[in-house]
Structures are given as structure tokens and as C-alpha cells.
Amino acid sequence: MCKPHLIAAFFAISSLSFAAQASDSLAVKLASIDEGRQMDPGSLSVQRANAALAEATKACGGMDARKIVDQVALVSNSLQDRGIYSRPVDILEGLKAIVYDGTDERTCSKVLSMYASVRLTMNHSSAVVGIRTLYNTATASQ
């Protein structure tokens, strides 16, 4: 391989490594919020958060993971401020349960907003099932 190709390959691998590290740090952040304490990067909670974040990113058409984490943290904090038990990783898993892979970013944001509203009056499972039913009905009629 010639030198320009080696340089390009190096930058491609470096960017993938950086993306993986960023995702890992976001997973640590989510798991730490979930558990209420700083979590070890190798813990099961962080692994669960990382898997949920990867699935939600895929479901939301490659939406930036940091943007998803910020929105989920906002929803979780908003609910907790109102005295409603809420775990960010559960919200991520609920988002994945509602939307299909490749859903656009705008729809994912709307679903998270809808979750925040519905969750005020229902438990997590009922909110996810209710929104999923609405989402499936809306997408089936298009």
C-alpha cells in the first residue's frame, strides 16, 4: 500500500477507536446515572447501557449517540424531579422497543418526548406499550 492509503487507513481506524471510546464513556455516564454512583467501565451495568445505546442508535437511523444520551438524561431527570422513578437505560430500551431500525432522528425525538408525557401518568411498561401501539398504528396507516 502506498503512503497516502496507509495514512487514510490510520485515520479511519483511529476514528473508529475514538467512536468506540466515546460510546463507552457515554455508557459509563448512563450506567452511573442509573445506579446513582460512578460505575466501573467493565461492570454489567455499563455493558447493558452500552448495548442499549448501540441498539437505540441503530433504531434511530444512526442518530448521534451523545444526542440520544442527552435527550434520555433530560427525560429521566425531568421525571425524577417530579418524583417518578426513572432509569435512563430503561428509557433507551423502551425507545428501541417502540421504533423500528432506521427511524429518522426527528421521530425518535418525538417518541422520547411522548414517553416523558405519558410516563407522568403510567408506569414504564404501560407507557412503552401504549406508545408502541400508537406508533405502529401511525406507521401502518402511512
Residue 111: per-residue pLDDT = 94
> How is the chain split into domains, by residue range?
3-140
For 92-113, what is each residue's pLDDT tens digit? 999 999 998 889 999 999 999 9
**Other CB atoms within 10 Å distance of the CB of residue 124:** 18
In which band, very low, low, confident or very high, does the pLDDT at 58 lie, cut at 50, 70 and 90?
very high
d(CA 77, CA 102): 27
Interval 78-90: pLDDT, tens: 999 999 988 999 9
Listed residue (71, 116, 72) closest to 93, CA to CA: 72
User: Residue 128: pLDDT band by 50, 70, 90 thresholds?
Assistant: very high
| CA pair distance 117, 94, nearest whole angstrom | 14
Q: What is the pTM of this model?
A: 0.78
